[in-house]
Amino acid sequence: MPDIVIRHIDGLMAERIKSLAKDRQWSINDVVLHALRHGLGMASGNIFAETMLNPDELTVLSGQWDAREKAALQEAIQALSLTRPTQLSPANLSLDESLG
């Protein structure tokens, strides 16, 4: 199997990976593989399954969506696709503390 190196992981993500590995008593590699499989729609009942969904299914809405919901989701996806990769990172978000 090929190896992949992932660079530029922010500290928050690295800590979350380490925390999950410790909590589940998994290796860091197993946590990352699990996250990738779920994020890519490749997981099934067995958490380490090698089953792959049709990649086109990831872009198709399933379930009961009315036209307004579909439009809202598509608008949100379009807006997110236009953001810079770091734009929504915790370090770049400034929350108004007076609201909380």
What pLDDT sits at residue 15?
Answer: 92
User: pTM, whole model, 2 decimals?
Assistant: 0.44
Q: Is residue 92 part of a domain?
A: no
Residue 5: inside a domain: no
Residues 89, 10: contact at Cβ < 8 Å? yes
Domain count, the chain: 1
Q: Which amino acid is at 23?
A: D
Task: Give DSSP secondary structure letters for 19-54.
Answer: HHHHHHT--HHHHHHHHHHHHTT---SSTT------
Q: Which domain holds residue 19?
A: 11-85
pLDDT for 50 equals 45
- Mean pLDDT by groups of 10 residues along the chain of 100 residues: 88 91 90 86 58 51 77 84 72 55
pLDDT for position 44: 64
- Cα(100)–Cα(95) distance, integer angstroms: 9
- The pLDDT value given to residue 37: 84
- Interhelix angle 28-39/11-24, rounded to 10 degrees, is 110
61: in domain? yes
* In-domain check, residue 90: no
